[in-house]
Amino acid sequence: MQPNRQRPSMDGMQRPKPVHKIRPDLRLDHELPAPEPTPLLKKGATTTPLPSVTDIKKDDPASSLSTQQPFKIKKWLIATIAGLLIAAAVTFFTAYGWYQSQLAPVTSDTTKHVMVLIKSGMTPSEIGELLQKSGVIRSQLAFGVYTKLSGTENKLKAGSYSFQPSLSTPAIVDHIVAGKQDTFDVTFLPGDTLANNRKKLIDLGLFSTTEVDAALTKSYDRPLFATKPANADLEGYLYGETIEFDSSATVESILGRFFTEYEAVITDNNLVAGFQKQGLSLFEGITLASIVQRETSNPDSQRQVARVFLNRMQIGMNLGSDVTYQYAAKIMGVAPDPKLNSLYNTRIHAGLPPGPIATPGKTALQAVANPASNDYLFFLAGDDNVMHYAKTDAQHQQNIVQYCRIKCATP
């Protein structure tokens, strides 16, 4: 290869080789002049260092926003979401606690009943409102929520129900879904009073006080009351028995059932004829039987006691029964006193009291109609719970000293 030989051009013509001139101001790196030396600092002088890339980013407002603002937004968002979750949890548990409390029973009294008539076509909301107003449940709203959640809102059946407020709302709902017409028992005890029986009817929770009182003061045209004075109340006429009734029963129909039971006992035991043999009407026989019932519940003793009272009546002697002035004191609201001024006090008034002092049982009624045979004029129930009889007052006083030191010491 020959140096400096010109290559032919594309068109075949030869041209001189271009000469490159070197600019005097441009020189190779190794030919550049050396940098001027940094002058020496005087003592005590300071220099300002050049900012680093990091320092530039720290001082740059744009750089600060780009790194800190997203962090602040993320922190605020997390705090907000956490706050909402906590608030939602508190709200939920508060609402759940309220809901559970409203499903609880209204009362712990298991003896109370409330009669409720759920009519056909009533909506769940209307049923809930009725139950709340009747005092059967705590909350209509909780009732509605429960029936919806349990799927029972369209299964509630119409009917007459006797509900116990001592049951929870779920139990009440189950009762209605079952659609079972309710029954309840009424118990009148031998020896109990009209005042106590009135309270029992009211305590059923099925009837108002007005309804009970109206039924108890109403006049009834029945064989049972054939000889009862018009001004006499129903004391002694609510026969001691337990009878079951359905939820449609009224106070009058309840009393009617007890009257019917009473009449059956009188008829089956031929009591009217038995009382007549003792010189007593039906009303008088019931009155004396009520005193016998309160003196003793033992059938054998009842026949002996009945004869003692009849013996006294035959000779015009006061009955002298302590239970009569005790009854008088109770209805008068005063302390028992043997000298209490009341026609019911047979200690100071001769003959029978104005009317019965309690409900006599069947054995007491039978005892008056068919008393024992004796000639006693005195008796007492001793501290040994045994009846002791005497023909004379002297014997009676001896019995008191010997057998009745505790019981006879109180009026």
Query: Which of 178, 211, 231 is the last residue before a domain boundary?
Result: 178
Who has greater pLDDT, 122 or 92? 122
Q: Beta strand pairing status for 241-246 and 183-188?
A: antiparallel
Structure token pair of residue 191: 């020896």
Question: Domain for residue 303, yes or no?
Answer: yes
CA angle 46, 47, 49 (to 5 degrees): 140
Structure confidence at residue 407 (pLDDT): 83
Q: Structural domain tally of the chain?
A: 3
Burial 212-237 (b: 16+ CB within 10 A, else e): beebbeeeeeeebbebbeeebebbbb
Q: Are residues 347 and 261 in the same domain?
A: no
pLDDT confidence tier of residue 78, bands split at 50, 70 and 90: confident
Q: Are residues 294 and 402 in the same domain?
A: yes
Question: Domain for residue 156, yes or no?
Answer: yes
Mean local confidence (pLDDT), 187-212: 93
User: How far apart are the C-alpha atoms of 235 and 259, rounded to whole Å?
Assistant: 12
pLDDT above 70: residue 108: yes
Q: Are residues 195 and 174 in the same domain?
A: no
Measured in degrees and rounded to the nearest 5, phi and psi for residue 319 equal: -65, -35
Q: Quick one: residue 389, left, alpha or beta (phi over 0 = left, psi -120 to 50 = alpha)?
A: beta
Question: Domain for residue 295, yes or no?
Answer: yes
Amino acid at the residue 189 = L
Structure confidence at residue 388 (pLDDT): 96
User: How far apart are the C-alpha atoms of 77 and 220, rounded to whole Å?
Assistant: 82
Q: Are residues 254 and 283 in the same domain?
A: no
pLDDT confidence tier of residue 75, bands split at 50, 70 and 90: confident
Structure confidence at residue 47 (pLDDT): 54
Q: Are residues 388 and 319 in the same domain?
A: yes
Question: Domain for residue 142, yes or no?
Answer: yes
Structure confidence at residue 215 (pLDDT): 97
Please check whether residue 365 is in contact with residue 190, taking contact to mean a CB–CB distance below 8 angstroms. Answer: no
User: How far apart are the C-alpha atoms of 29 and 406, rounded to whole Å?
Assistant: 141
Q: Are residues 322 and 303 in the same domain?
A: yes
Question: Domain for residue 109, yes or no?
Answer: no
Structure confidence at residue 16 (pLDDT): 58
Q: Are residues 286 and 370 in the same domain?
A: yes
User: How far apart are the C-alpha atoms of 42 and 395, rounded to whole Å?
Assistant: 147
Question: Domain for residue 84, yes or no?
Answer: no
Q: Is 165 exposed, middle or buried (0-12, 13-18, 19+ CB in 10 A)?
A: buried
User: How far apart are the C-alpha atoms of 80 and 82, rounded to whole Å?
Assistant: 5
Please state, rounded to an integer, the average pLDDT across all residues of the chain: 86
pLDDT above 70: residue 192: yes
Burial 273-294 (b: 16+ CB within 10 A, else e): ebbeebebebbbbbbbbbbbbb
Structure confidence at residue 35 (pLDDT): 57
User: How far apart are the C-alpha atoms of 183 and 198, rounded to whole Å?
Assistant: 20
Structural domain span for residue 316: 271-409
Q: Are residues 119 and 164 in the same domain?
A: yes
Question: Domain for residue 131, yes or no?
Answer: yes
Mean local confidence (pLDDT), 176-201: 91
1-15, 113-127, 273-287, range with the lowest pLDDT = 1-15
pLDDT above 70: residue 76: yes
Who has greater pLDDT, 62 or 144? 144
pLDDT above 60: residue 5: no
pLDDT above 60: residue 64: no
Q: Are residues 295 and 390 in the same domain?
A: yes
Amino acid at the residue 14 = Q
Please check whether residue 206 is in contact with residue 325, taking contact to mean a CB–CB distance below 8 angstroms. Answer: no
Total Cβ atoms within 10 A of residue 90: 10
Q: pLDDT tens digit string along 243-270?
A: 998 877 899 999 999 999 999 999 999 9
Question: Domain for residue 134, yes or no?
Answer: yes
Q: What is the DSSP string of 128-149?
A: HHHHHHTTS-S-HHHHHHHHHH
Who has greater pLDDT, 64 or 343? 343
pLDDT confidence tier of residue 33, bands split at 50, 70 and 90: low
Structure confidence at residue 1 (pLDDT): 47
Q: pLDDT tens digit string along 133-172?
A: 989 999 999 999 999 999 999 999 988 788 889 999 999 9
User: How far apart are the C-alpha atoms of 268 and 259, rounded to whole Å?
Assistant: 14
Mean local confidence (pLDDT), 322-331: 96
Q: pLDDT tens digit string along 342-355?
A: 999 999 999 999 99
Q: Are residues 396 and 313 in the same domain?
A: yes
Please check whether residue 139 is in contact with residue 102, taking contact to mean a CB–CB distance below 8 angstroms. Answer: yes
- Give the dihedral sign, CA 290/291/294/299: negative
Who has greater pLDDT, 299 or 64? 299
Mean local confidence (pLDDT), 230-235: 96
Query: Which of 178, 194, 213 is the last residue before a domain boundary?
Result: 178
pLDDT confidence tier of residue 372, bands split at 50, 70 and 90: very high
Mean local confidence (pLDDT), 360-385: 96
Query: Which of 233, 268, 303 is the last residue before a domain boundary?
Result: 268
Percent of the chain at pLDDT exceeding 90: 63
Structure confidence at residue 242 (pLDDT): 95
Q: Are residues 307 and 367 in the same domain?
A: yes
CA angle 150, 155, 156 (to 5 degrees): 105
Q: Are residues 347 and 300 in the same domain?
A: yes
**H or E element at residue 186:** strand 183-188
